[in-house]
């Protein structure tokens, strides 16, 4: 079930060192095939996404590093925040939308941000310890990550850019397969703007690490990787879609990706200004 270089941690989680100091923690038995990323510095580590919470991902993390770990979700969808309560040190992107989800210091995201009801998931309240400014650098000691706001799939989505390591942690912004722009709060204008803003930041050699990935032609799982050209293809396909005036249910990006669409995602293209 696992590609060479990927090993089972137990009967649920798989791990792969995708770059020096970067360990992908996958859940190939979960139907959305989530991949979460443990990023190690010299002084501390960052856990980018925590999966759906079907199993306890924090115990996997503790087995992989003795560094203090800060957990940062890429966005509030249930399949990225299900394990968040297992971490004592939680950071969030400092976005007004997320600040508006606080109640007496507890994070309680709106249902259309969490979407757990779609699969019978229940949110576990957590208290954020840190609010990270968009555009700021996260210093892990010997490794620095730039926090980038990348809405489109969700209004609160963020990505991480490791410029020195030539890595982009893209979460749900791009991944091999069908990109979800058919869900509530998806926005095609935001998707296009985010893609166009990302392109100047990354190089042709940048490895784009995504949060979901299907098995390969041999039915083997590994952490999903894309390239700058895939983000360029996304921007180009969105420009073509906008110019067409059409509202299809699906739209091709390239031979690795397509967009799933609904009428709500087109709203920002229909509004004046």
Span 206-256, pLDDT tens digits: 999 999 998 999 999 999 999 999 999 999 999 999 999 999 999 999 999
Give the residue-averaged pLDDT of 155-174. 98
pLDDT of 271 above 80: no
Tokens standing for 42?
């010299």
Q: Write down the pLDDT at residue 273.
A: 53
Give the residue-averaged pLDDT of 56-61. 98
Dihedral in degrees, nearest 10, Cα atoms 161, 95, 231, 31: 100
Could you tell me the pTM of the whole model? Answer: 0.97
Q: Write down the pLDDT at residue 129.
A: 98
Closest CA to 104 of 88, 125, 130, 74: 125
Q: Write down the pLDDT at residue 270.
A: 83
Helix (H) or strand (E) holding 179: strand 177-181
Give the residue-averaged pLDDT of 98-125. 96
Span 120-155, pLDDT tens digits: 999 999 999 999 999 999 999 999 999 999 999 999
Rounded Cα distance between 129 and 68, Å, is 14
Q: Write down the pLDDT at residue 202.
A: 98
Give the residue-averaged pLDDT of 32-50. 98
What's domain 7-177+203-227's architecture? 4-Layer Sandwich (3.60)
Q: Write down the pLDDT at residue 272.
A: 60
Give the residue-averaged pLDDT of 194-200. 98
pLDDT of 94 above 60: yes
């Amino acid at each position: 079930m696992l590609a060479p270089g990927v090993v089972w941690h137990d009967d649920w989680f798989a791990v792969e060192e995708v770059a020096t100091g970067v360990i992908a923690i996958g859940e190939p038995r979960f139907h959305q095939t989530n991949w979460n990323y443990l990023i190690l510095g010299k002084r501390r580590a960052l856990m980018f996404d925590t999966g759906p919470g079907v199993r306890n991902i924090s115990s996997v993390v503790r087995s992989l590093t003795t560094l203090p770990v800060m957990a940062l979700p890429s966005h509030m969808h249930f399949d990225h925040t299900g394990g968040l309560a297992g971490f004592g040190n939680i950071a969030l992107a400092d976005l007004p939308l997320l600040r508006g989800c606080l109640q007496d210091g507890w994070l309680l995201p709106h249902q259309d941000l969490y979407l757990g009801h779609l699969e019978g998931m229940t949110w576990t309240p957590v208290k954020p310890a840190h609010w990270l400014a968009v555009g700021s650098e996260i210093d892990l000691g010997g490794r620095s990550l730039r926090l980038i706001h990348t809405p489109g799939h969700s209004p609160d989505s963020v990505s991480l850019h490791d410029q020195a390591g030539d890595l982009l942690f893209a979460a749900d912004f791009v991944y091999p397969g069908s990109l979800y722009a058919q869900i509530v709060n998806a926005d095609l204008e935001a998707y296009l703007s985010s893609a166009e803003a990302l392109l100047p930041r990354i190089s042709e050699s940048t490895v784009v690490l995504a949060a979901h990935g299907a098995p390969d032609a041999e039915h083997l799982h590994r952490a999903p990787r894309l390239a700058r050209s895939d983000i360029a293809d996304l921007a180009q396909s969105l420009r073509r879609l906008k110019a067409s005036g059409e509202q299809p249910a699906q739209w091709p990006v390239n031979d690795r990706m397509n967009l799933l669409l609904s009428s709500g995602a087109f709203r920002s293209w229909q509004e004046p200004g």
